[in-house]
């Protein structure tokens, strides 16, 4: 049971600082991300299958590097240098998109960007877990995700304004996106890392003791793998919005609505997960995901606004709460490794989900692709009672 609000510890300053780092990094990323489907399809004339390959490979890189990042920082005994390297690579990746004349160059730019995301992501979340008291993990990660998403919203709005002012100026936007990315790197120099305890330093010289990880951790990983098969890239929803006749600016605007809902829901969802349980929030989110993908399979232009809003609620319910859930089940000395294996395996199946979704979209139709994702997500929700039977690992 959580402590009364007046006795709960305060959110540490490191959470706020890393939150602002994520804010500016997401301004950079979201100036680019919602424009990629239209750039690939409208400018480079690439098929939907190319979008699936680009996003699938990008997410595959993220998942592999997240696994490496967590194990590496546990063994090394420090996380901040890895975080700095990752944010730097992500900033470099954005301008590479501006020189693309064929879709494989977009793959290269996204690959460098996502390489940085993978390197930094687990190390940053493990660094956060090191400083957050257990009783407020949901709240603290919810705050971090809210700041992260506020940056995403700002980035989307900047992209929308630039596209309204300069229609078709994708390459200019891609170059400008590097500016907030490098500002995020500069802010990292205000962050200080907690010195690891001697026990952790000793553990870092050993192999990761996977067999000693609690059963609840592996159940969580298994369910996340199942849901990951449904969790194709958001760009397919953006592609569908474009196919329904929305302009570039309108597509970006609907994506901005998604980010508004994500930002508004993240912090309250984190607080509720501290009080009511993580799996309740995640289950509600996964059910919403299934409903949204099912809705996208049949909606016309008028249904896009409520569906994108609900999609933002889904991600707000699950994103920060999932990281807090991993932290609950991770052994103290191996938090980075636990987060790494979680992100790596769930990202790996997302790679398969993107590839399958792209092929189904091109060869069978968008409805088959979207309904397949919805069906798998619904099955994952049915597996949550199994996870509820496992106990949280004492911190």
pLDDT band at 5 (very low <50, low <70, confident <90, very high): very low
Question: For residue 301, how far is the Cα from the chain centroid?
Answer: 26
pLDDT band at 232 (very low <50, low <70, confident <90, very high): confident
* 135, 3 contact by CB (below 8 A): yes
Res. 24: pLDDT tops 90: yes
What is the CA angle 308-62-75, rounded to 5?
A: 135
The pLDDT assigned to 391 comes to 54
Give the mean model confidence (pLDDT) for residues 350-362.
81
Residue 23 CA to residue 15 CA, distance in Å, equals 12
Q: What is the pTM of this model?
A: 0.73
pLDDT over 90, % of the chain: 14
* 140, 11 contact by CB (below 8 A): yes
Q: At 164, which CATH number?
A: 1.20.1250.20
Supply the range of the domain harboring residue 65: 8-191+212-388
Res. 395: pLDDT tops 50: no
Residue 3 within any structural domain of the chain: no
The pLDDT assigned to 287 comes to 93
pLDDT band at 201 (very low <50, low <70, confident <90, very high): low
* 373, 360 contact by CB (below 8 A): no
Give the mean model confidence (pLDDT) for residues 256-268.
86
Q: Which residue reads 């999932």 in tokens? A: 322
Residue 205 within any structural domain of the chain: no
Tokens of 49: 């299958």
The pLDDT assigned to 294 comes to 92
Residue 117 within any structural domain of the chain: yes
Q: In total, how many domains does the chain have?
A: 1
Give the mean model confidence (pLDDT) for residues 168-176.
86
Tokens of 208: 């990761």
Q: Please give the mean pLDDT across all residues of the chain.
A: 82
Tokens of 231: 């969790």
pLDDT band at 1 (very low <50, low <70, confident <90, very high): very low
The pLDDT assigned to 125 comes to 85
Res. 202: pLDDT tops 70: no
Q: What is the 3-state secondary structure (H, E, C) of 149-202?
A: HHHHHHHHHHHHHHHHHCCCCHHHHHHHCHHHHHHHHHHHHHCCCCCCCHHHHH
pLDDT band at 61 (very low <50, low <70, confident <90, very high): confident
pLDDT band at 340 (very low <50, low <70, confident <90, very high): confident
Residue 394 within any structural domain of the chain: no
Residue 23 within any structural domain of the chain: yes
Cα separation values, 151 from 98, 168, 304, Å:
22, 23, 23
pLDDT band at 293 (very low <50, low <70, confident <90, very high): very high
Residue 204 within any structural domain of the chain: no
What is the CA angle 85-74-90, rounded to 5?
A: 20
Residue 244 CA to residue 220 CA, distance in Å, equals 37
Residue 55 within any structural domain of the chain: yes
Residue 197 within any structural domain of the chain: no
Give the mean model confidence (pLDDT) for residues 70-89.
86
């Amino acid at each position: 049971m959580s402590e009364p609000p007046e006795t709960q510890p305060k959110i540490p300053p490191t959470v706020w600082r890393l939150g602002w780092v994520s804010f500016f990094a997401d301004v950079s990323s979201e100036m680019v991300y919602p424009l990629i489907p239209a750039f690939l399809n409208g400018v480079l004339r690439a098929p939907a299958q190319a979008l699936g390959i680009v996003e699938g490979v990008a997410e595959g890189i993220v998942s592999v590097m997240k696994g490496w990042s967590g194990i590496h920082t546990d063994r090394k005994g420090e996380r901040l240098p890895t975080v700095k390297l990752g944010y730097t690579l992500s900033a470099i990746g954005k301008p590479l998109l501006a020189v693309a004349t064929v879709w494989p160059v977009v793959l290269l730019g996204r690959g460098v960007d996502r390489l940085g995301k993978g390197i930094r992501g687990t190390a940053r979340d493990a660094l956060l877990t090191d400083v957050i008291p257990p009783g407020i993990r949901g709240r603290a990660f919810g705050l971090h995700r809210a700041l992260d998403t506020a940056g995403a919203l700002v980035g989307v709005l900047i992209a929308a304004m630039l596209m309204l002012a300069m229609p078709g100026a994708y390459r200019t936007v891609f170059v400008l996106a590097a500016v907030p990315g490098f500002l995020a790197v500069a802010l990292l120099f205000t962050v200080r890392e907690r010195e690891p305890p001697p026990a952790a330093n000793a553990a870092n010289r050993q192999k990761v003791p996977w067999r000693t990880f609690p059963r609840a951790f592996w159940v969580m990983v298994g369910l996340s793998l199942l849901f990951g098969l449904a969790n194709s890239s958001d760009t397919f929803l953006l592609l569908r919005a474009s196919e329904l006749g929305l302009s570039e600016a309108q597509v970006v605007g609907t994506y901005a609505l998604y980010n508004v809902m994500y930002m508004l829901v993240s912090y309250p969802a984190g607080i509720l997960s501290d009080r009511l349980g993580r799996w309740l929030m995640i289950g509600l989110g996964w059910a919403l995901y299934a409903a949204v993908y099912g809705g996208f399979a049949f909606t016309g232009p008028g249904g896009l606004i409520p569906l994108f809003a609900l999609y933002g609620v889904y991600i707000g319910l699950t994103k920060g709460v999932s990281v807090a859930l991993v932290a609950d089940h991770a052994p103290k000395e191996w938090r980075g490794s636990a987060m790494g294996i979680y992100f790596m395996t769930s990202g790996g199946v997302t790679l398969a989900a993107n590839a399958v979704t792209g092929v189904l979209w091109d060869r069978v139709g968008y409805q088959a692709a979207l309904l397949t994702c919805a069906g798998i997500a619904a099955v994952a929700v049915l597996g949550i009672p199994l996870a509820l039977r496992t106990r949280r690992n004492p911190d």
